[in-house]
Structure 1
Amino acid sequence: MDRMNDTAAARRVEITAQGGRADIEIDGTSIDPSAIKAYTVSHFAGERPEVLLHVADRGDTQWSGMARVTVADVPDPGPAAAVFLEAIDPEALERAALTRPDLGSEPYSLTRAMLTQLGEWARGL
């Protein structure tokens, strides 16, 4: 693995977060908050800390400098969804859907209620 020189790769990053807002500075330079949609900080024992900035899709924002770029594959949700659906008790799903206060009488309302219920169960609600 090709590793960058530690001195050349090191940057001072300061994040001041409060509520839903975070101000980010890199080497004393403020970053436009609208240019970053998220950030992740990680640190493994024996390694240097890393800050991953998730850049917003903005045409007028320009970035320069060195970075280690990691491309991650988005996992296929199919296998996890299959495991989740296999664990669903059909009777419990039907009972929950039929007792929902938002169950309507229009066509496909039971299917809509079941899908809504499954979504809520998937999110732990």
Structure 2
Amino acid sequence: MDHNDTSRRHVRITASGGKADVEIDGKRVDPRAVGAYTITQIVGEPAHVLLHVTDHGSDQWSGMARVSVTDVPDPGPAAAVFLDAIDPEALEHAALARPDLGTEPHSLTKAMLTQLGEWARGI
């Protein structure tokens, strides 16, 4: 990445709940045009904002841009490490203690998957 680029833009992101408003150089970006965004920063360097654009509002995007192409990482190895670290007894106790545990078929499996998802997200 070229950190000496002098064509910097002012980006403002205001997030609340599951929604975010994005402005570039004071101009609001159509919320339908941005599917996601990531912000990274190396200490001592300007922040790097990556907007994941959608097909909506495509007439809004014109001009020059620096494009990075990456592969989406395979979640399998990370999921395997996470699952290997799970204590089966703790999972069973947590799932059985859930207030949303139902009585329908497969409700224990559903509760365990929900519990694993919450643990994976740090909840």
Fold match, TM over 0.5? yes
Instruction: Name 1:76's counterpart in structure 2.
Output: 74
Structure-1-length-normalised TM-score: 0.72
Task: Tell me the percent identity.
Answer: 63
Structure 1: stretches of 5+ with no match in the other structure: none
What is the rounded CA distance, in whole Å, between the counterparts of 2:110 and 2:15 in structure 1? 38
Structure-2-length-normalised TM-score: 0.73
**SS, match of residue 58 in structure 2:** coil
CA drift of 1:64 comes to: 1.5
Change (3 A) 1:87 1:61: same
Once the two structures are superposed, the pairs formed by residues 1-125 of structure 1 within 5 Å of their partners are 6=5, 10-15=7-12, 17=14, 19=16, 20-26=19-25, 30-44=28-42, 50-58=48-56, 60-62=57-59, 63-125=61-123
Count of residue pairs the alignment pairs up: 119
Decide which structure has the larger Cα Rg and report it: 1
Structure 2: stretches of 5+ with no match in the other structure: none
Change (3 A) 1:50 1:82: closer
Greater CA drift, 49-58 or 62-71? 49-58
